[in-house]
């Protein structure tokens, strides 16, 4: 039999949980307005002029990307070229239909970097979503073409995502990294200072960690409230 004190405590905990989820849902609804410009106050980040690279960068919802079939197709081709072998090295495997569908699912957003000829040469695919009752920005992909590697473009896109997440009042930014990809682990852990998230398999299922080919990493964001954001 549950004591009155315990029942009251559980009721209060549930009330607090629902309040947190309600607040998170409001933030997500606000962030996921499809015509919202998440870079409206990040003007300096709309251009990348370093290391002999001249790029323009925009943040767009899939509703805008789908009207430009060439951009979406280029995004997919960059993703497949960079990641097919990584997926095939994992029990997930690569499935073209699944990956194309994933790029379109559940309010997807994209950072798209184009060169002076208007060609897409790098992108990030991300979503504003729930994780353990809180609002987060989940980065599913950050990819650059081979000729753009080593020029700081991927790091720049991740910096933009962190700023967008902070502006949207997300509590953290999250990513999934294959354990067999040391280059990606070095990029996120050593360069960008991401840490293993509490939801990563090594913590959630430590007895069977070897059964997982990935880790989840994250970074806490500093919320930057802006009027009209």
Sheet containing 195-196, strands listed edge to edge, beginning at the edge strand earlier in sequence: 47-50, 53-61, 109-114, 120-131, 134-144, 172-178, 214-220, 195-196
At residue 3 the predicted structure's pLDDT band, cuts being 50, 70 and 90, is low
Quote the pTM value.
0.89
Pairing between strand 172-178 and 134-144? parallel
At residue 23 the predicted structure's pLDDT band, cuts being 50, 70 and 90, is confident
Q: What is the mean pLDDT of residues 40-45?
A: 96
Half-sphere exposure of 154 (CA within 13 A, CB side): 18
- Looking at residue 229, what is its pLDDT? 43
- Looking at residue 77, what is its pLDDT? 97
Of 77-81, 170-174, 199-203, which gets the smallest average pLDDT? 199-203
Structural domains in the chain?
A: 4-176 (3.40.630.30)
The helix (run of H) or strand (run of E) holding residue 47 is strand 47-50
Nearest-10 Cα torsion for 57, 59, 64, 66: 70
Q: What is the mean pLDDT of residues 67-77?
A: 90
């Amino acid at each position: 039999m549950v004591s009155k004190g315990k029942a009251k405590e559980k009721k209060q905990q549930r009330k607090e949980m629902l309040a947190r989820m309600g607040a998170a849902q409001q933030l997500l609804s606000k962030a996921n307005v499809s015509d919202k410009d998440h870079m409206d106050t990040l003007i300096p980040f709309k251009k990348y002029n370093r290391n002999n690279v001249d790029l323009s960068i925009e943040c767009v919802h899939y509703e805008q990307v789908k009207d430009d079939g060439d951009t979406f197709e280029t995004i997919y081709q960059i993703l497949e070229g960079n990641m097919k072998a990584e997926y095939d090295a994992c029990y997930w495997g690569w499935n073209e239909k699944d990956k194309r569908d994933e790029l379109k699912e559940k309010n997807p957003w994209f950072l798209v970097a184009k060169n002076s000829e208007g060609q897409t040469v790098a992108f990030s695919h991300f979503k504003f979503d729930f994780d353990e009752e809180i609002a987060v920005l989940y980065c599913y992909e950050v990819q650059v073409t081979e000729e753009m590697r080593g020029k700081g473009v991927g790091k720049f896109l991740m910096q933009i995502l962190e700023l967008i997440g902070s502006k949207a009042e997300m509590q953290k930014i999250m990513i999934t990294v294959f354990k067999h990809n040391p280059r990606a682990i070095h990029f996120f852990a050593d360069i960008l200072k991401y840490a293993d998230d509490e939801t990563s398999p090594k913590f959630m299922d430590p007895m069977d960690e070897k059964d997982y080919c990935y880790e989840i990493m994250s970074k806490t964001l500093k919320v930057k409230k802006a009027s009209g954001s």
